[in-house]
Amino acid sequence: MNDPLGIVSRINTQASGFSRPGQSPAGQDFKQELLDEMRKVNQMQQDATQATNDLLTGQRDDIEGVMIATQKADSAFRMLLALRNKVVDAYDEVRNIRV
């Protein structure tokens, strides 16, 4: 399965340790998870920028390597964006529940 950010596999390993409300959670909380992933995506973007600059200044000459780094950073960013949109959608849905 394609899992460039390792999000899905990590969630699967955590699912067994799922906790009921009131108990202390086994894994990291979601906010921390999201921040970590954001940091990772940012790092990938910076790596891709560095790779492009190295190509332009002649410090590396593998076009395919630069292209792959760029595409990886791009896909990771889109993955994070999709995740963020899902979270916002879920929040909106919860907010619209009538009590």
Partner 1 sequence: MFTSFDISTSALVANRTRLDAIAANIANADVPVDPKSRNPPFSEQVVYFAPGDPVSGDPNGVHVAAIQPRNDFRRAFEPWNPLADKDGYVRYPNIDPVVQQANAMLATRSYDANLAAIEAAKSMISSSLSIIS
Partner 2 sequence: MIDGMLGSTNLPALERSLQYMGARQRLLAGNLANIETPGYRPTDVAPAAFQQSLREALEQDRTDKGGGLAFDDSAPVAFTEAGTELKPQVLAENIMFHDGNDRSVERLMQKMQENVYSFRVASQLLRNQFDLINTAIRERM
Quick one: CA dihedral 10, 14, 16, 21, positive or negative? negative
Smallest separation (angstroms) from partner 1 to the CB of 73: 10
Q: What is the dihedral of CA 91, 95, 96, 99, to 10 degrees?
A: 140
Smallest separation (angstroms) from partner 2 to the CB of 54: 9
Query: Given the complex with partner 1, which of 55 and 80 has the nearer CB atom?
Result: 55
For partner 1, the binding residue among 1, 13, 31, 61 (CB under 8 A) is 61
Site track for partner 2 across 14-53, x = CB under 8 A: -----------------------------------x--xx
**Residue numbers at the binding site for partner 2 (CB under 8 A):** 49, 52-53, 55-59, 63, 66, 70, 74, 77-78, 81-82, 85
